[in-house]
Every structure is written in C-alpha cells, then in structure tokens.
C-alpha cells in the first residue's frame, strides 16, 4: 500500500466527526495485523489492545499543536489544542508504533473522531528489531523488518476543528486554560514532551511549548499560594 495523506482530499469536510468517513475508507481493515503510528497521546496513553510496540520515525511530516480538541482536552465552546501532522520537506517525526488488529479500528475511530482521518505512511523503526516493551541489548536483535507501511490518523487543514498556526504564547495560553472530559490540556502537552524526551526525541515545537507552559505554571504558583 502506498503512502496516503488526508490533505489529498479536494473538498473540505462538512463535519468534524470523521467516524463514518474512516469506516468507509477501510484502511487496513482486511489485514489480520498492521502497525499503527502514534505521535500524540497514543505515545503515552495507548488504551488499545496491541501485540507489540516499537519506536519509529516517519519522514516528511512535522508534529504541530494546530488541531482543536472539542471532545477530549477542551469543549465545543473552549477547545484545547492537540497534535496533528503537517507536511514538511526533510522533516521527521518520532513516535510509537503499535502492532494491532482490525478490532482496534472502531475504538480508534471514536478516539480520533474530531477531525482525524486514516492514512497510510511508511514507518522507519529505530529500535533495531527489538520489542519496544523490553530493554534492548545486543542479544535481542531480530530479523524484524526495519520499515513497514502503517496506519496514522491526521487532522488536515480542511477539517472544521482545525485551528492552525498561532504565536507560541497564544498556543500556550490556550493550552493552559483548556480542560475537557479527558483532563487538562496541559497534561496532554507535558506528558507528550516527557514521553518524547524518554525516547530520546528532539521536537523543537513540542519542547518549546512545554517549556513556556512550565514557566507559566511556575509563575502562577506563588500567586495561588498567596490567595490561600
């Protein structure tokens, strides 16, 4: 299967709820197992059944906090900001790949329903063939292929929940004040930054936002203490 990208769609989406579109597309639904690439909360909160996981890169994309979250980390009246992928020549995005079966597609479609569409992408594994759940050593290297075609969910600029670029301080302010059914938007950003750091990743966009958010939280803490 060749790489696909939701940005190839010509017409804007009329609704942010993508469940029916994804179901009709049927990416990977006929395969017994396939790889899912997670680049946001799926890195640190993979509440899906999976056989194994491996850190992986995809090329030609950058991670950006340009997608609105009206259902998880915000509300319809006060959306939060979460990660999506944007095309960028020469860029790479580090994430976690999960080997899953088609039974996971329906829960994933529900989780990613606010503007995200299924797409296929080439994964480049970075763990030398070991199972990502286990410590790596020289005896664990296997003949597992170092690349594979995988499934990814991308919220492109033509979906109604897309917020787009904004000044760093504006994005941080929105994340700091947003809260939804899945918890504070700040937890999403900070957990993602910590997870990427644990993988040895380097994501200037995410790390800058996390640093500014932590500074903002430290500055607010003394003020809160004085009011008690």
- Contact criterion met (CB below 8 Å) for 63 and 176: no
Neighbour-count burial of 146, counting CB atoms closer than 10 A to its CB (0-12 exposed, 13-18 middle, 19+ buried): middle
130 within 8 A of 177, measured Cβ to Cβ = no
Query: What is the distance between the alpha carbons of residues 159 and 76, in angstroms, rounded to a whole number?
Result: 15
Q: Which of 121, 95, 113, 97 is nearest to 8 (CA)?
A: 121
> Strand, coil or helix: what is 91?
strand
Q: Which run of H or E residues covers position 109?
A: helix 105-111
Q: Which residue has the tokens 């004085």?
A: 226
Active site residue 103: no
Q: State how far the Cα of 50 lies from the Cα of 123, in Å rounded to an integer.
A: 17
Q: Which of 20, 89, 112, 228 is catalytic?
A: 112
The helix/strand count (H/E) of the chain reads as 6, 7
Residues 164 and 66: beta-carbon distance below 8 Å = yes
**What tokens appear for 71 in the block?**
């259902």
Which residues are marked as active site? 112
């Amino acid at each position: 299967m060749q790489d696909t990208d939701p940005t190839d769609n010509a017409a804007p989406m009329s609704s942010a709820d993508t469940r029916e579109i994804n179901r009709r597309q049927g990416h990977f639904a006929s395969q017994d197992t396939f790889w899912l690439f997670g680049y946001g909360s799926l890195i640190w909160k993979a509440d899906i059944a999976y056989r194994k996981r491996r850190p992986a890169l995809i090329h030609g994309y950058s991670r950006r906090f340009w997608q609105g979250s009206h259902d998880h980390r915000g509300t319809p009246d006060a959306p939060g900001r979460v990660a999506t992928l944007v095309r960028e020549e020469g860029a790479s995005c580090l994430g976690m790949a999960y080997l899953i079966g088609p039974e996971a597609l329906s829960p994933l479609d529900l989780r990613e329903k606010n503007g995200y569409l299924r797409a296929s992408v080439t994964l480049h594994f970075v763990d030398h063939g070991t199972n990502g759940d286990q410590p790596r050593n020289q005896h664990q290297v296997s003949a597992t292929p170092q690349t594979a075609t995988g499934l990814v969910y991308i919220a492109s600029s033509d979906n109604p929940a897309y917020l787009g670029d904004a000044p760093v301080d504006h994005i941080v302010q929105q994340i700091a004040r947003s809260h939804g059914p899945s918890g504070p938007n700040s937890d999403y950003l900070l957990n993602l930054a910590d997870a990427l750091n644990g993988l040895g990743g380097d994501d200037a966009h995410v790390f800058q936002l996390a640093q500014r958010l932590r500074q903002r939280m430290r500055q607010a803490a003394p003020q809160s203490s004085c009011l008690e």
